[in-house]
Each structure stands twice: as C-alpha cells, then as structure tokens.
Homo-oligomer: A and B are copies of this chain.
Amino acid sequence: NPMECFETSFSILAFGEVVSTADLTTGVKMGVVCWLFGGAVVNLGSPEHIEKWVQPIKDLKFTGMFAMTECGHGSNVKGIQTQATYDPATKEFVIHTPCEDAKKMYIGNAMQGNYAAVFAQLYVNGEWQGPHCFIVPIRDQAGKVYPGVTAVDMRHKEGLNGVDNGILFFDSVRIPKENLLNKFGSVSQHGVYESPIKDKTARFNAMLAALTPTRIALVFQAVAAMKLGLTIAIRYSYSRRQFGPKNKEEVKIIEHQTQYLRLMPHLATSLALTFTSRYAGEILDEDVCQGKDLVNNRPLQALVAGLKAYSTWENVGCLQDCRECTGGMGYMMENRIPDLKCDSDVFVTFEGDNVVMLQVVARDLLAQYARQYEERPVLELLKHWTASTADSLRTSFLAFNTEVVGCLSFLLKALNFRERVLQRSLSARLYDKVKKKKEEFFSAWNSCLHHVVALALAHVHRVTLEQFWKAVKECPEPKDQALLKKVRNQALSRLFAFALQFLELCKSAKEDALTVVSAFNIPASSVQAPIAGNPSPTATWTFYPHPPDSPGAKANFQAKL
C-alpha cells in the first residue's frame, strides 16, 4: 500500500516511478488518490482530518479524488465559481455549482471515488473569503452517488483511458463544518471566519503550495516514461540491423549517425533529470517530514514548477524520437511506446499547464531579484544592469573554445550568467513598462511572455546541470564516474551548440548506452516490449532478443541509479 510510506515522501516518489513503468494509468490513478486527495488533506487539513481521511485510504477502505479544475477555469484556478456558503443555523457548508462553467472537469476517479477534495469560493456571513478546500462525500461504499451530486463520465481520451475522468457538479449539497480543510482558514464556533493569512491572494497561494508534492511525483513519472522508452528504443537499436558497407553484414541501427544523435541527448537528459528530481524529492522530504509548511519554501515551489514543465516536455520529445527511431515496430502497441506517448502526453497540461508553470518560476526569480535590491534606490538597479560583477564573464566568452567545455565550473558559471542576464533584463523591461510607461501589468507581462519562458527554462537548465555535476562529483566508482562524465559532457556540448564535439560525444556515449539503460533497472515485467527482448505470445514477429550488456559495468552502475 503506497500510503504506508507517506511519511517519507522520497520512498513514495520512487514507488510511483516503479509503478509508472509498469503502467502509467495505475501511476496516475495512485497520484490522484494519494498525492492529490491525500496531499490536500495532509497539507491543508488538521491532524483530525488526516486521521479521518488519510488513514482509511492507507487501509484501502475508500478512495478519494481532487476537484479543482472547472469547465471555465483550469489554469486560472483563482477564478473558479463553485460556491461554499456557510449556514450558521445548521453549522454546515452548502456546496453548489451555480452555472455550466462551474462544473468540475477532468476529475480523475470521478466514476469510482468516495470522497472529493473540492475547491470552492467560501462565503461566510455574506462575505467572500476566496477559494478553500472541502471534503465532499460523493458516493457510499456500495458506489451509490449521494443526493445532489452528479458525476458524468468524460469517456475517451488520447491516453490514460484506465483513469475515469469525469465531470462533477453539486446541487446545494450540505456538508458538516468540519469538512473544511482548515489550516489556512476556518469558521469559528461562533460562525466567524478566521485565517492566519489576511491577504486572499497570499492565502490561496499557500493552498496551492499543497500541489508541490504532486508535481514532484509527476516529474518522477515523466522520468520513468523516458527511461522506459529509451530502454526499449536503445535495446532495439542494438538488435535491429539495416544498411551497411557493400558486401558486408548490415550494421546495427544504433551505428547510424542520425540514430545516436537523436537518442543520446535524451539519455543524458534522463540521467540529469533523475538526479534533479531526487534533489527536489530530498528537499521535500526535509520540509514535509520535519513539519515545515510548503508555503514558506518558495524556491522549492518554483523549482518543482519548473522541473514539471521541463521534464514533461523533455518526455514528449524523447518518446517521439523513441517512436520514430524504432520505425514501424515503435508504432505497434505491443512495443509499449505508443501507449507511453499517449498516456504521458497530458503531463504537459495537468497539474498546471507548462507555460503557466514557467511563469511561476519566473515570478519567483523576479521576486528574489527585487528582494536583493529592496533597500537600494531604483537607479542602482539599472546601474547594476550595465555593470554587474557577473558581466566580467563576457570577456571570457571571447576566448571561449571547444576545449573549455570540459571545464565544468566555467560552464556552470556561464549558465548562471545567462540566467542572471535574463533575470535582470526581464526585471528592467517590466519596470520600464509598468513603472515608467504605466502599462497595465497583465499586458506588460504578456508582451514579455517569451522572455519569461526563456528565463524560467534557463533556471531549470542551470539547476539540472548543477545536479548532474554534483552526481558526477560524488560518484564513488571511478569507472561509473567516467561514464557519467562522458554523458554529461555530451549534454553540455549540445547546450553550447558545439556541433563537432557534440557529434563525437554522442558517438562515444552510444557505446555505454546499453549499460546506462540496464542500470535503470526496470524489471523485464515492466519493460514488456518484444523489440526490447521480452517475447509476447500474441505478437511473436516483433521479438528481438535482448542485446548483451557488459555485465561488469552494469552491476556497478546499477548501484548508483
């Protein structure tokens, strides 16, 4: 039972990765019940709430769902329209869907779950208090839907068809006062609204912080999908032969330059993301398990939002290349890649659209920047822009050559420099538009959105590379360290567009590709793909035997990953 280890986020994250390689639908459904419903209760509720709604999930007594998104408001969650009106006479909340746009949509487990964590605008004594989260009973243990609740199946999607996404709406459903998850806002015995956070926006942001663990879980799932796709594509590339020198045996398709140029960068990224998602998981572990409120760790929220966007986009690109690099075989269902693609395609959208996630990152980076110069006059800020200490790097760029790529500390500085430049210039542009030209903030921000996205990605790239660097540095086995270094340098050379070195490094990384995918240690029962060496009785023709690994390297490397 996954909930058993809820106390240590890290083990459940790893568990989620393992489950997802076996079946993404199961991974996502587990995410809905444990991370979204369970996480809402844990992060927004009281110890009594946890006792009442998390313990039974651990005991598999019932399942939950998470009802935030509405028909009219997905990304802009603040605008949701479901109402929760406090009735002082009965000490109940009345949960109500006032219009079509307020219907809860895409709700996972909607056709089977017993309880929903429903986000609704709270009204107490006629006063609006912003969105809050309520536990609403949806159906009894026998599966009978409660009066006033309607659940509609949304049926077929591109993938994840094992998840029952549905529409939920409420016709004045009454729930007891205790069903409000009350960490950031509650109604007193005397019917008065109370909250430790006065500002409505800040209060809602605190609640949204509850989504952070779910987003890390999603990063682990995206990485799982990448690793599985790469395992299948790389093993097949080492089995399948096509074309070759005149009058000689055809070569393995991994030998075609275009093949390794397409697959090796994804392999490097999957390693970098493995290390970085663990890093985020460890911070989460420290925070959550030491009882800290997630809301206070803004950099973690920003990192996770950025990682969510970066990893899910990388996953889409990776699986597309895996599909194309395995040709017709990769189009056949029995080889897993189509399902992986279709199931994980929505990762870029759910748990926060990627473009919105990157704006979360940029907003935090700008806030950090502003804090840095809070006490200085505005002119200082602009002066700094033209004469930062970091700018001294600029001159070094002139002497930049390909050999320097090996010098990692220089490159990390360069990535850091890029991030700072984007941060300062975005800050200056927004300052100019909003403060000087009095432009409306939304339109000023929107006209810089391209810049915002670039800054956020630069940040995630920098952190990801740092974690890759750290993993290489701390690797205890010299042999494994050398291998990791090679893959990392290849990732780097792409980042800096050194075409020639990139070609050479990809070619060299290819030699270790089987060792790396073996070290992912995905059990054959999860790999399942006939083209990767797992026979299928219903598609015997797609079987290609498992290409031989170099066993020594494997055993060692496995320990690290």
Contact = CB atoms under 8 A, between A and B. Distances in A.
Interface string A411-453: 0000000000000000000000000000011110011111001
Contacts of A333: 155-158
B324 A348 contact: yes
Interface string A519-551: 000000000000000000011010000000000
Nearest to A453: B258
Interface residues of A, number: 69
Nearest to A337: B158
Contact of A74 (B76, B242, B449): B242
Contacts of A105: 328, 541
Given A349-B324, A450-B258, A541-B71, A157 B331 contact: yes
A17 interface: no
A34 to B, nearest CB: 21
Contact of A440 (B69, B245, B257, B334): B245
Contacts of A342: 158, 338, 342
Interface stretch (A211-219, A350-358, A479-487, A508-516): A350-358
A90 to B, nearest CB: 32
A348 B167 CA distance: 36
A383 interface: no
Interface string A226-260: 00000000000000001111100011000111100
A316 interface: yes
Contacts of A73: 242
Contacts of A331: 157-158, 345-346, 349
- Which 6 pairs between the two chains have the least Cβ-Cβ distance? A158-B338, A257-B449, A156-B333, A245-B442, A331-B346, A258-B355
10 contacts: A74-B328, A76-B243, A76-B250, A103-B541, A155-B538, A157-B332, A157-B338, A158-B342, A245-B443, A331-B345
